[in-house]
Amino acid sequence: MARTIKTTGKKRKKKSSTKVARVKSKKAFRSYQQAIDYLFARTDYEKQERLRYNVTTFNLKRMQKLLSLLGNPHKKIHTVHIAGTKGKGSTATMLARMLEANSYDVGLYTSPHLVHLHERITVNAKMISDSEMCGLLNRIYAPVEKISKTDPPTFFEIMTALAFMYFLDRAVNIAVIETGLGGRLDSTNVIKPKVIGITSLSIDHQNLLGDNIDSIAKEKAGIFKRGVPAITVQQEPSAMRVLKSQATAVKAPLSVTGDDIDFSQRFETSREHGPHTRICLTTATSKFEHLRVPLHGKHQAINCGLALALLDKLKSAGYKIDNDKATEGLHKVFLAGRMEMIWDDPRIMIDAAHNAASIHALIHAIGQNIPYDSMVVIFGCNVDKDVKGMLERLQYGADKVIFTCSNSPKAMSPEDLGEIYTEICGKMYQTAPTLDQALQIAKSAVSKEDLICITGSFYLIGQAKIRFQQN
C-alpha cells in the first residue's frame, strides 16, 4: 500500500481541469495507433542531425504554456531530478527500486527507449499501457493544437507532459525524472524537485552543449534550484568548480559522494555472486555497509552511491526509509541494455555506451567481469557524438571490430567510422551495412569462449534486442 508523505500534511487530491475533461470527451483519436502516429509526427530532436541548442529550439516557456493548459500537473507531484552525461538511467532506476521496496508508488521517466516507447513512462516498474497512452493523448490533443498555431510543441515536450499527467493520475508518491538533453533548457526543467542528482560528466553532444567539460557542466547545473539540495559524484576538477559555482549562485546546497559524503568501493569475486563491486556509504542519518552493486562496473558503483545518497536526502525530507528494504529493492534492479547478455551461443552482449567515457567504462567492466578468449565488437554510433573519442577507447578492448549503422537518421556510415579508426590506431576492421550482416561476420569469427559485444548507440542495441527477442 502506498504511503502518504508526512511533509505534505494530507493526501493529495486528484484534480483535472475542465479544459482537459472537455478534450477527453472529444476523443480526437479512436485508436492507439492513430494517437501514436500523431505523437510521432511531432518534431523529434532526437532524430535531427543538425540542431541549434538555444532558447528558441528548446523553449521552456512553450513547455510551461502547454502544462498550464493541462492544469500544471508537474506542480502537483513530488519529484527527484537527475541530470548528467552517463549513468542517469542507472541512477534513476536504482533509486526508484529502493523507494518501491519501501512501499512508495514511484513514477520513473527516462529516455531514450530501447524497444518500446512506453519504456519511458513507468509506475512501480510497469510501463504505461496502450489504452492509458491513448487516453492521455486524447486529453492533450486540444492544448497541443492550440499552441501549435504559433509554436508547435515537440515530441519530447509532449512525452514529458504525458509523463507528468500520468504520474498525477496514478497519484504517485514521488516521480524520478531524468533529463533528456543537457539540463538548463531541457523540457523536464520545469519542476521543483525534492532533491537533485548530477551523475558523472564527460564530453557528449558537444555540437549542442559545448566541446569542453566546463560548458557541459554549466548546462547540467542549469537544473539547480534555490534551496533544493543537490548531490553529485566526484568529477574532473574543472567540472566540479563549475558545479560548485553554479550551486552557490542559486543558493542550492551541494554535496559530493566521496567528499562531503563518506563513500568507498571495492571489487571482489565470490562463489555466490561471481565478480561484483561492493560499496559503503555513510551519512548522519544512514549507514550502508558492504552493499553489493546490482550492475557490473566501477561506474555503476559510483551511480549506486549517488542513488543511495539521494535516497538518504529524501529520508531527511520526511520519507520513511528502511535501509534493509532499500537494499532488497536494489538487488532486484535489472537494466536492459547495460552489459546485458542477449544470446548464449555464441555469447552476445549489448551495452548502451554512447560516449568516450562510457566506452572506456564498458571495456574495463567487461575485462573485470566477463571471461572470454577474444572479443568482437560490433560498433555503430551517430554523427553528433564524440566519434574520435569513442574509437580511441574502443581500440584497447576490441580484438576485432565490425562497423555498422543503426536505423537512426543520424547514424554515421560504417565506412566513415572505419576511416577514422584507421587514422587513430591503424588497426584492421570490417564494415557491414546492416546489423544482421555484421552479426553474420561476427558469428563466423568466434568460438564458444569468445564474446560478441554490440555497442555505441541506443538505436543499435535496441535493434539487436528486438532481433533476438524474435528468435
Ordered structural domains, the chain, with CATH: 6-330 (3.40.1190.10), 340-469 (3.90.190.20)
Question: What pLDDT is attached to residue 50?
Answer: 55
**Lowest-confidence range among 44-48, 109-113, 176-180, 284-288?**
44-48
> What's the average model confidence in pLDDT over 400-407?
96
Alpha carbon distance 100, 6 (integer Å): 17
The distance between the two most distant Cα atoms of the chain, rounded to a whole number of Å, is 65
Q: Which residue has the cell 512506453?
A: 118
**Per the structure block, which three cell numbers stand in for 327?**
537494499
> What's the average model confidence in pLDDT over 355-368?
94
For the cut 60, the answer to whether the pLDDT of residue 16 exceeds it is: no
For the cut 80, the answer to whether the pLDDT of residue 56 exceeds it is: no
Question: What pLDDT is attached to residue 210?
Answer: 53
The values of phi and psi at residue 398, to 5°, are: -90, 125
Q: Could you tell me the sign of the dihedral formed by the alpha carbons of 334, 335, 339, 344, in that order?
A: positive
Four-point Cα dihedral 71, 73, 77, 83, nearest 10 = -140
The reported pTM is: 0.90
Alpha carbon distance 237, 256 (integer Å): 13
The values of phi and psi at residue 364, to 5°, are: -65, -45
b (16+ CB within 10 A) / e for 242-253: bbbebbeeeebe
Q: How does DSSP classify residue 200?
A: B
What CA–CA distances, in Å, run from 40 to 26, 44, 362, 401, 465? Answer: 21, 8, 32, 34, 22
Radius of gyration of the chain (CA): 22
What CA–CA distances, in Å, run from 456 to 88, 289, 361, 406, 411? Answer: 17, 34, 12, 10, 10
For the cut 70, the answer to whether the pLDDT of residue 452 exceeds it is: yes
Alpha carbon distance 235, 131 (integer Å): 43
Question: What pLDDT is attached to residue 27?
Answer: 79
Alpha carbon distance 113, 122 (integer Å): 12
b (16+ CB within 10 A) / e for 138-160: bbbbbbbeebeeeeebbbbbbbb
> What's the average model confidence in pLDDT over 423-434?
96
For the cut 70, the answer to whether the pLDDT of residue 3 exceeds it is: no
pLDDT band at 130 (very low <50, low <70, confident <90, very high): very high
Question: What pLDDT is attached to residue 46?
Answer: 61
* Interval 19-43: pLDDT, tens: 443 444 457 999 999 999 999 999 8
H/E element holding 20? Answer: helix 18-26
Mean pLDDT of the chain: 91
Task: Count CB-CB contacts under 10 A for residue 105.
Answer: 18
**Per the structure block, which three cell numbers stand in for 119?**
519504456
> What's the average model confidence in pLDDT over 149-177?
97
> What's the average model confidence in pLDDT over 453-460?
96
β-strand 347-351 against 340-344: which pairing, if any? antiparallel
pLDDT band at 9 (very low <50, low <70, confident <90, very high): very low
**Per the structure block, which three cell numbers stand in for 387?**
566519434
- DSSP for 83-150 reads E-SBSHHHHHHHHHHHHHHTT--EEEE----SS-GGGGEEETTEEPPHHHHHHHHHHHHHHHHHHHTT
> What's the average model confidence in pLDDT over 404-413?
92
- Provide the terminal-to-terminal Cα distance of the chain, rounded to the nearest Å: 39
How large a percentage of the chain has pLDDT more than 90?
A: 84
> What's the average model confidence in pLDDT over 57-82?
94
**Lowest-confidence range among 108-112, 126-130, 467-471?**
467-471
> What's the average model confidence in pLDDT over 179-188?
93
Bigger pLDDT: 172 or 44?
172
How far does CA 128 lie from the centroid of its chain? 17
